[in-house]
Amino acid sequence: MTSSKSSSFSQKALLFAMGLGLCCGWLDVPFLNTTAEIVSALFIQLLKLVSLPIIFFAILSTVTNLSGLDELKTLGRKVLTYTLLTTLIAATIAALLFATLHLDSVQSMVDAMVTPPATTKGQYIDFALKIVPENAIVAFVEGNVIGIAFMAFLISVAVIALPEAERVPLQTLFKSLFSALLRLTQMILKLFPLGVWAFMLILFKELQNTTASSQLLWYTVAVVGANLIQGIIVLPAFLYLKGIPVRRSISGMFPALSMAFFTKSSSTTMPVTIQCAEKTLNVQPKVAQTAIPLCSVINMNGCAAFIYITVLFVSAQNGLFFSPFEMVGWIFIASLAAVGNAGVPMGCYFLTSAFLISLGVDLTWLALILPLYTFIDMIETALNVWSDSCVTLVVDKELSAS
C-alpha cells in the first residue's frame, strides 16, 4: 500500500513538473532558460556518474549469485528471444506504415542550403572491436556500454567457476557495492521533478525552433507512429498474452519512462528502471539486475523502426527504390542492426548514414532530418526502456513459474 501511494505521488509530482516546464518555456524568461540548461546538464551528469558502474556491478552481483551457468543460459536465452521478436515486430510495423503513407513518393529538394552530416568512416568497425576493451579504465572513460557489459559477464563466469571459499567473499563484495550504488541513485532521484521541469522547458524551446516540409512531416508521423503503435498496442498485448497486468506495469514504470524520454539514454535511465521493476512491480532482483542491463545493450525497438523508415525514405527522395522483396529484407537488416547498435551516441542516426553511404545515396535529406532527431530520439528511448521492462516482466514470470 505504501509503495502504491508513493508511486501515485511520484506521478503527480512529475506531471506537475512537466506542466510547470511548459509554462516556463512559453514565458521565455532568459533567467529561467539559463537555469533550466544548468539544472538539466547537472542532472544528466549525476545520472551518468552512476549509470556505467551500475551496469557493471548489476551484472557482477547478479550473475555471480546465480545457482550456476545453466540458470544464466536460461535467462539469457529468454531475453534474447523476446528481444529479437519485439524488434522484428517494430521493424515490420515501420514497413507497413511506410507503405501505407506512401513515403516513397519523391519531392523536390528543399531550396535551403543544407550541410550533410559528417560521416565517420569505419566508426562501426571500430565500435565492433571495442566490444572487447583493451583495458577496464578506457571502457569506463569512453562510456563503452557493450564493452563494460562484456567485461562484467566474463568476470562473472570466472567467479562462478571459483571454489566456494574464494567465490563467496567476491559475491558479497559485488552485492554490497551494487547496493551502495542503488542507494546513491535513490538520493539523486529525489531531484527528478526538478530535472523534469528543466527538460520540459528545454524541449518546448527546441520544438519552437524546428521547421519541416510537408514530406518531412509525414516522415516524422511514420517514425513516431511506428514507435507509438509498438509501445501502446504491441507491447501491452505482449504483456496481456503472458497474463501480466498492463495498467499496473505502465504505472509502475512511469518514472523510468519519463526519465528515458527526457535523458534520451537507456543506460542512464537503467538505475531507475531496475528500481521500478524491483520495488514497484516486484520483479525478482536476480532477474531485474541481469535482464535490464542486458536489454539496455541489445533491445532497441525504436531504433529498428527509425533505420527502416529513414533508409527507405531518404533513398526514395534520391530516386532509389526497392522491390517488395527487398523491402522485406530491410526489415531483417534494420532489426539486426538495431540489436547491435546500443552504446553509440546518436547510433541510429549514424548507422543509417552508413547504410545510405553504402547505397551511394546523397545525405542531404538525412541532414534535413537532423533537427527532428532530438524529438524522435526521445520517443525511441522511452520505447526502448518500455520494451526492456516488458521483456523483463515476462522473463521474470516464466522463471518464477518454472
- Looking at residue 87, its pLDDT comes to 92
Nearest-angstrom CA–CA distance, 375 and 261: 9
Give the residue numbers spanning the domain of 293: 2-401
pLDDT, greater one: 150 or 170: 170
Tens of pLDDT, residue by residue over 308-348, are 999 999 998 888 888 888 899 999 988 877 875 555 556 68
Residue 118, phi-psi category: left (phi > 0), alpha (psi -120 to 50), beta (remainder): beta
Residue with cell 546465480: 66
pLDDT of 66 > 70? The answer is no
pLDDT at 367: 73
Are the CB atoms for 86 and 298 separated by under 8 Å? no
Dmax over CA atoms of the chain, in Å, equals 71
Q: How confident is the model at residue 210 (pLDDT cuts 50, 70, 90)?
A: low
pLDDT single digits (tens) 161-205:
888 888 889 989 988 998 888 788 778 878 878 888 988 888 787
Provide the number of structural domains found in the chain: 1
Residue 249: the pLDDT is 95
Instruction: Indicate the DSSP class of residue 66.
Output: S
Q: What is the CATH number of the domain that holds 257?
A: 1.10.3860.10
Residue that the C-alpha cell 524520454 belongs to: 261
Q: Is the pLDDT of residue 119 over 80?
A: no
Phi/psi at 245 (5° precision): -60, 120
For the record, the C-alpha cell of 79 comes out as: 531475453
pLDDT recorded at residue 120: 44
pLDDT at 386: 96
pLDDT digits (tens, 9 = 90+) for 270-303: 888 998 999 899 999 888 988 888 887 777 899 9
Residue reference for cell 524488434: 87
In contact, 276 and 62? CB cutoff 8 Å? no
Q: Please state, as a whole number, how many other Cβ atoms lie within 10 Å of the Cβ of residue 293.
A: 28
